[in-house]
Amino acid sequence: MSSTLDIISIIGAVQSLLFALLIVVKKKRALSDWLLLAWFLVFCLHLLLGVGEKFAPTHVIQILITTISFLHGPFFWLYTKAIFDERFTRLDLWHFLPFIFFFSLSFFIKSHWALFWEISILFAKLGALIAYPSYILYVYKKRMTTLKSTRADHRLLQLSWIRIIATLLLISMGVSILRLSTELVVGVAYFELFDVLRYVVFVTLIGFFGLKYGVVYHPEVPLEVAAAEKKYKHSPLKETEIHIFVDRISHFFEENEAYLRPDFSLAILSESVRIPKHHLSQIINSEMDTTFYDLVNAKRVDYAMRRIREGGQLKLSLEGIGYESGFNSKSAFFHHFKKHTGKTPGKFKKEISTD
């Protein structure tokens, strides 16, 4: 049993490390990528500690094994904030206080208080690992309501995985509570293998969904596009200025390929066309009848269509063309290509090859 546990733990640790390396080799890394990388390293360390304890059962390792789970909630929350494009403050660092508190104080607990302290840590961890995903689901629901009301369908695909991971974490905690209750009633502890296996599966799912959807391009998008006319009703822009700015924006996309950069944003466009961001948002939303996000991705799809039409001159795969066009994942490329053309890249390529 012990050797099986060690093998599963090592597999999970290596897997976590590989997920982290996949993020490291990315050309463009956002804050969310760094947070996900750090979270994978925590998973890796946690699994390796379980193996290392059997070879070097030091007091520090035992304390780390007991308290490191306090880091999962904060990393999940900070990663979610980054994906939701929310601003970070110094107060966010307070989320790591429970780990610091329990880790530090564990060195000073006397032996006759050890059992009480372990129970306190256990219930605190269960509470934290239930509170974080529950609150994230609450925030997710609010964000989805906002996105649906503004017709921001492009964000729904990217953010859906947050709900999946939060739900799985809550299910995992439910299983842990059931296991704990069973052990207390039956008086035996034979679920360790199942616990480690469940932990490794959870890491795998985070890696899969995080790398598939968490790296999808998410530039700055106005959240009240549906009310654009009302929002800009009292805008100081004159009609002549609006026409000039629209021409300037159109000319930029005709002459410049900066929009193919994965990190292309409203701020970059604003600086390039010399239009203040709030005026730029107004023109794109109310005058061009679109959003910045849809405008950029429509241009990227047009570029990809041109590249596909070049046919035999290309040595790139369809996925390679997607990355060249500025999309950060195959799923994002196929999603937006079909959204703007009504067909997949493969079907489009097949149709033009038979013409």
Residue 129 shares a structural domain with residue 275: no
Do 201 and 307 belong to one domain?
A: no
- Report in angstroms the alpha-carbon separations of 345 from 158, 164, 185, 297, 308: 20, 28, 58, 14, 8
**pLDDT computed for residue 222 by the predictor:** 42
Residue 234 lies in a domain: yes
- Distance between CA atoms of residues 209 and 206, nearest Å: 5
Q: Which two tokens stand for residue 105?
A: 């104080």
The rounded distance, in Å, linking the Cα atoms of 65 and 50 is 7
Residues 163 and 299 in one domain: no
Whether residues 48 and 90 share a domain: the answer is yes
Domains contained in the chain, number: 2
Is 255 part of any domain? Answer: yes
For 118-146, what is each residue's pLDDT tens digit? Answer: 889 989 999 999 999 999 998 887 776 65
> Do the domain assignments include residue 251?
yes
Both 176 and 143 in one domain: the answer is yes
Residue 297 domain-assigned (yes or no): yes
> Of 213, 237, 264, which closes a domain?
213
The 3 state secondary structure assigned to 162-203 is HHHHHHHHHHHHHHHHHHHHHHHHHCCCCCHHHHHHHHHHHH
In this structure, the answer to whether residues 159 and 282 fall within a common structural domain is no
CA distance 63 to 303: 55
pLDDT tens for each residue of the chain, 355 residues long:
567 888 888 998 999 999 889 888 876 677 888 888 999 999 999 999 988 887 878 899 999 999 999 999 999 999 888 877 677 888 899 999 999 999 999 999 988 898 899 889 989 999 999 999 999 998 887 776 655 544 444 455 556 778 888 998 898 888 888 877 776 676 554 456 777 888 888 888 888 776 665 543 344 444 444 444 444 445 566 777 777 888 889 889 988 899 999 889 998 999 999 888 888 888 888 878 888 988 999 999 999 998 888 865 556 788 888 888 999 888 888 989 988 888 898 888 888 876 5
Distances (CA, A) of 218 to 83, 221, 279, 330: 8, 8, 21, 15
Q: Is residue 262 part of a domain?
A: yes
Same domain, 207 and 237: no
Distance between CA 48 and CA 37 in Å, rounded? 17
Residues 37 and 173 in one domain: yes
**161-219 per-position pLDDT tens digit:** 788 889 988 988 888 888 777 766 765 544 567 778 888 888 888 887 766 655 433 44
At which of 188, 213, 238 does a domain end?
A: 213
Domain shared by 12 and 102, yes or no: yes
The dihedral built from the CA positions of residue 30, 281, 160 and 174, taken in this order, carries a sign that is: positive
Specify if 219 maps to a domain: no
- Domain end, chosen from 192, 213, 234, is at 213
**218 in a structural domain:** no
Do 197 and 256 reside in the same domain of the chain?
no
| CATH code at position 271 | 1.10.10.60
Residue 325, token pair as written in the block: 């066009």
* Matching residue, tokens 């990393």: 75
**One domain for residues 202 and 233:** no
89 and 21 in one domain?
yes
In a domain, 97, yes or no: yes
Domain span at 319: 225-353
